[in-house]
């Protein structure tokens, strides 16, 4: 099946620094990638949708200047948390949608997540 | 807008017990329905899906039937194992190829030996 990887799996950074998280589709091309944030014991909150070669579409309430998303190729999207603060500590999960026809093209494959801790 | 409501947990069962996690949805038209599972410290894995009314999704002993009349997609397993301990999310994808998955809040299942 389709595999999505994320790097790093865990990161600890100091307040005020920036952190980049990578999301890669390993064995398929992804026209669209999604970034989610998950708070402890809660569901996933969609942060933004990124399409290769175009600007990301952010959900209401998500600061686009703080959470920079770049979808540079059909296999890579990055999320950069700029000037991170402790309240940004969370579990960030990406997913990718395969570039094929049919209903399966709408299925999202999820990465393993990145645990960000800001001290 | 579209929404998913699933039973609140946590759910604690003994091994070999029967499992039901309720899920109902609100959506226009005919959404696709999914169950995802999240093991501790990991991302989500697709467990099963159904794309039209009366479809039954099944995988690893889990089943769920798309019931249009009751707008439900309840997850069931006849005999749970300790390894099934995880958080289960019900989700829908709107009709017409909407990109956004709408998730329920998740139900944590713990299976004791």
CA distance A107 to A98: 7
Q: Is the dihedral of CA A70, A72, A73, A78 positive or negative?
A: negative
User: Which of A46, A108, A116 is best to mutate for the B interface (most B CBs within 10 A)?
Assistant: A108
Do B104 and A111 make contact, defined as CB atoms within 8 angstroms? no
State what percent of residues in chain A have pLDDT above 90. Answer: 66
Instruction: Please state the rounded mean pLDDT for residues B61-84.
Output: 97
State what percent of residues in chain B have pLDDT above 90. Answer: 73
For residues A72 and A82, the model is more confident at A82
Nearest CA in chain A to B48: A107
Q: Is the dihedral of CA A81, A113, A100, B98 positive or negative?
A: negative
At B95, list the tokens. 């009709």
A106 in contact with chain B, both atoms CB, cutoff 8 A: yes
**Which pLDDT band holds residue B72 (cuts at 50, 70, 90)?**
very high
For residues A13 and A31, the model is more confident at A13
Contacts of A93 in chain B (CB under 8 A): 43-44
Least trusted range by pLDDT, from A67-71, A90-94, B39-43, B44-48: B39-43
């Amino acid at each position: 099946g389709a595999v999505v990887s994320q790097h790093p799996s865990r990161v600890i950074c100091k307040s005020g620094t920036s952190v980049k998280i990578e999301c890669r589709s390993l064995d398929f091309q992804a026209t669209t990638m999604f970034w989610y944030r998950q708070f402890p014991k809660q569901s996933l909150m969609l942060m933004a949708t990124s399409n290769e070669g175009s600007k990301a579409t952010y959900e209401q309430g998500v600061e686009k200047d703080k959470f920079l998303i770049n979808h540079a190729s059909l296999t890579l999207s990055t999320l950069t948390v700029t000037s991170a603060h402790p309240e940004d500590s969370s579990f960030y999960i990406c997913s990718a949608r395969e570039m094929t026809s049919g209903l399966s093209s709408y299925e999202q494959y999820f990465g393993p997540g990145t645990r960000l801790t800001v001290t | 807008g579209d929404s998913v409501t699933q039973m609140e947990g946590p759910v604690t069962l003994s091994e070999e017990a029967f499992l039901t996690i309720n899920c109902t949805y609100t959506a226009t038209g005919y959404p696709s329905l999914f169950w995802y599972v999240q093991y501790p410290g990991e991302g989500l894995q697709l467990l099963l899906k159904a794309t039209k009314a009366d479809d039954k999704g099944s995988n690893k002993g889990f089943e769920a039937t798309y019931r249009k009349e009751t707008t439900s997609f309840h997850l069931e397993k006849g005999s749970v194992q300790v390894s099934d301990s995880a958080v289960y999310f019900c989700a829908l994808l709107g009709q017409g190829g909407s990109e956004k998955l709408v998730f329920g809040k998740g139900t944590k299942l713990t299976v004791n030996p």
